[in-house]
Amino acid sequence: MPEYIEKYYTLKDLWKSVKKLPSDRKYLAGGTDLVISLSCGNDKSSVWLDISDIDRLKEIKEDGKNIFIGAAVKISELESNPLIKKWASALSECVKYYASPSIRNTATLGGNYANASPCADGVLALAALRAKVMLNLYDKRRVVDILSIVKGPKKIDLKKDELIEGFIVSKEERKSIFMKMMHRKRFGIAKAGLCMCYKLEKGKLRDVSISLSSVAPSVVRAKKTEEYLEGKNPSKAQTKACQLIREEISPLTDIRSTSDYRMRIVSVFLSRALCSI
């Protein structure tokens, strides 16, 4: 149980005081993961730093080239925000499959990323969007590729106190398709998921990126399949692409699904995606 909670409204205040706090400190955004860790006895930190109201972390804004989505943006906001719908529609689409409205009103995109679950829907969309993550440590920023610091469930290469400030998605006119197989329709943790972003020029696929969830220790990209699809006609490339994508993954069998079923689902998803283009 945390002994106290510090609530912040600006990054400046956070960096001013954070180093003075006891070292077993932890950021808190929506709390949907943290509270469950606490009730399972897995969270032993003595201070929680509530960052959910830091203005910068709640921003969604654009400049000439990119859009910026703050880490404390709630999942429910991704559904209707016009900038996200226009430039990062994979994120708006993932909301349809993301838990229940009441979870979406609480959970944040930054928390979804920090949790680094192999089935995280927000991460699946960000990976297909080829987003970058902006990290901030004592007011020094670094920007890295979205999957480059994700190492496995709950394992993410962040330095002590390093804060996820937000995500950067470049403004590209790409379409997106999001698919997720769950135990219950439209609710719950993915048995497998696929997100694809692409352009279609004169009937040919361009600039394809495909991400997959729940088939590896973290969300992954299907790079060989992406390369194969470049410049191809979607329906003609279907058979080979579906075979390729199965060769790219080696999912586990666990309580949610079997390895074989996951392989099949991923290839069925890709085939449906290519048929729908």
Ligand X SMILES: Cc1cc2nc3c(=O)[nH]c(=O)nc-3n(C[C@H](O)[C@H](O)[C@H](O)COP(=O)(O)OP(=O)(O)OC[C@H]3O[C@@H](n4cnc5c(N)ncnc54)[C@H](O)[C@@H]3O)c2cc1C
Residues that bind another protein (CB under 8 A): 1-10, 13, 28, 31-32, 35-36, 38-39, 50, 52, 76, 96, 99-103, 105-106, 186-187
Please classify residue 254 by burial: count the beta carbons closer than 10 Å to its beta carbon, then call 0-12 exposed, 13-18 middle and 19+ buried. exposed
Per-residue x/- track, 235-264, ligand X (CB under 6 A)? ------------------------------
Q: Is 51 in the site for ligand X (CB under 6 A)?
A: yes
- The binder of ligand X chosen from 67, 120, 210, 222 (CB under 6 A): 120
Q: Residues 4, 47: contact at Cβ < 8 Å? A: yes
**How distant is the alpha carbon of residue 152 from its chain centre?**
13
Would the CA dihedral through 248, 254, 259, 265 be positive or negative? negative
Ranges within 150-179 binding ligand X (CB under 6 A): 163-164
Return the number of the residue (96 or 199) whose C-beta is nearest another protein.
96
Q: Kindly list the distances between the CA atom of residue 73 and the CA atoms of 37, 60, 136, 166, 248, in Å, as whole numbers in the listed order.
A: 21, 8, 16, 9, 33
Q: Is 90 in the site for ligand X (CB under 6 A)?
A: no
Q: Is 121 in the site for ligand X (CB under 6 A)?
A: yes
The C-alpha atoms of residue 224 and residue 139 are separated, in whole angstroms, by: 38
Q: What share of the chain is helix, strand, coil (3-state, %, to 5)?
A: 35, 30, 35
Q: Is 112 in the site for ligand X (CB under 6 A)?
A: yes
The C-alpha atoms of residue 119 and residue 116 are separated, in whole angstroms, by: 8
Token pair for 104: 């979406």
Comparing every residue's Cβ against ligand X, the nearest one is: 111
Return the number of the residue (108 or 238) whose C-beta is nearest ligand X.
108
Stretch that binds ligand X, among 11-19, 114-122, 192-200, 238-246 (CB under 6 A): 114-122
Interface with ligand X by CB under 6 A: which residues? 26-34, 36, 51, 71, 98-99, 103, 107-108, 110-112, 114-115, 120-122, 163-164, 188
